[in-house]
């Protein structure tokens, strides 16, 4: 029983929520917080259902199944010419 | 509820009978005058689910056509709102436009309360960030997945996460995750691997890391990064 690398000990968070829990805890009646009213260009009056609960569009599917999700600029930064 | 005293007690957990973190009262210097009081960080209601930290959401947009007269970065930063429970997060997030609907050169920044989304901030100065440059059309879902993972404490790196940014740019959208200690390799690797998992990134995805020191040096967020290919 050997360990190759000493792992740092991280303090475990007390309040943890998995993705499904976060989604399940979405309240039924949600009012817009007043602070958002200062940003008319950024807000939606009606609550928007999280994308996690909406189907992936065909376009998204196409992008995810393409050869890479990275932009062309990412390849330029990496020194490679393309995926 | 709209005052600093309430806010402070909300953030430290005092006065709620709840002996929970965040551990120390974060400094209030992160918030521009006149904007702090719009944070709705009241003590969690009994039926609400507390987050490990309080968070603040910021927005920035580069002013166009004024290349010679660029406003200081922090003057472009607008504090949108804050939250300390899962329920309050949904109220803010669900009423905002998606990143893909934002104008070019705009960013959403989600940072722990007390940490300003700036390289110079005390919590960031020794830190760095992971960068994923995405094709247009993917950022909104990635941003949501990332928010859920950060707020839910899924990264498992203690207090290392400072915040996250989504940046809408020409021909690409960029997701970044900022951490405190750039030279802590265990932590940065764990963040990279978790990021890949929570965003469902394919194995060949290029990820880049850049220390804020280097960003300060070359005054750029996304150039001259360390590239990681798999």
Predicted pLDDT of residue A80: 65
* Structure-model confidence comparison of residues A79 and B120, the more confident one: B120
Predicted pLDDT of residue B71: 66
8 Å CB contact of B186 and A52: no
Which candidate, B41, B30, B32, places its Cα nearest to that of B4? Answer: B41
CB of B189 within 8 Å of a chain A CB? The answer is: no
8 Å CB contact of B96 and A43: yes
Q: How far apart are CA B138 and CA A59, in angstroms?
A: 10
Predicted pLDDT of residue A82: 58
- Spans of chain B, pLDDT less than 50: 1-34
CB proximity list for B220: less than 8 A, separation 6 or greater: none
Predicted pLDDT of residue B72: 73
Contact A52, A60 (CB under 8 A): no
8 Å CB contact of A52 and B144: yes
Q: How far apart are CA A12 and CA A33, in angstroms?
A: 31
Prediction ipTM score: 0.89
pLDDT over threshold 50, residue A45: yes
Which candidate, B165, B174, B168, places its Cα nearest to that of B134? Answer: B174
User: pLDDT for B105-125, tens place per residue?
Assistant: 999 999 999 999 999 999 999
Contact B96, B59 (CB under 8 A): no
CB of A71 within 8 Å of a chain B CB? The answer is: yes
Contact B31, A26 (CB under 8 A): no
Among the residue ranges A67-71, A73-77, B1-5, B151-155, the one predicted with the least confidence is: B1-5
pLDDT over threshold 60, residue A3: no
For residue B219, the Cα-to-chain-centroid distance in whole angstroms is 19
């Amino acid at each position: 029983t050997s360990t190759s690398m000493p792992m740092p000990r991280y303090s475990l968070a007390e309040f943890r929520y998995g993705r499904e829990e976060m989604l399940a805890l979405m309240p039924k009646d949600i009012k817009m917080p007043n602070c958002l009213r200062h940003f008319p260009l950024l807000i939606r009056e009606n609550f928007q259902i999280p994308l996690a609960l909406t189907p992936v569009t065909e376009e998204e599917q196409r992008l995810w199944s393409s050869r890479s999700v990275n932009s062309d600029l990412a390849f330029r930064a990496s020194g490679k010419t393309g995926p | 509820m709209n005052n600093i005293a309430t806010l402070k007690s909300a953030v430290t957990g005092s006065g709620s009978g709840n002996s929970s973190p965040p551990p120390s009262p974060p400094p209030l210097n992160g918030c521009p005058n006149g904007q702090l009081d719009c944070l709705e960080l009241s003590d969690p209601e009994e039926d609400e689910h507390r987050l490990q930290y309080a968070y603040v959401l910021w927005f920035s947009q580069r002013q166009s056509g004024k290349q010679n007269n660029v406003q200081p970065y922090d003057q472009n930063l607008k504090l949108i709102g804050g939250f300390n429970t899962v329920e309050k997060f949904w109220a803010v997030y669900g009423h905002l436009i998606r990143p893909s609907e934002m104008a070019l050169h705009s960013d959403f920044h989600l940072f722990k309360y007390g940490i300003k989304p700036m390289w110079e901030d005390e919590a960031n100065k020794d830190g760095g960030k992971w960068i994923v440059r995405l094709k247009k059309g993917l950022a909104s879902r990635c941003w949501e997945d990332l928010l859920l993972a950060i707020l839910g404490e899924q990264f498992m790196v203690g207090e290392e996460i400072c915040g996250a940014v989504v940046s809408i740019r020409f021909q690409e959208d960029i997701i970044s995750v900022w951490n405190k200690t750039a030279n802590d390799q265990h932590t940065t690797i764990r963040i990279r691997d978790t990021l890949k998992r929570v965003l469902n990134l394919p194995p060949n995805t290029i990820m880049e890391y850049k220390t804020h020191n280097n960003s300060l040096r070359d005054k750029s967020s996304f150039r001259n990064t360390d590239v990681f290919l798999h």
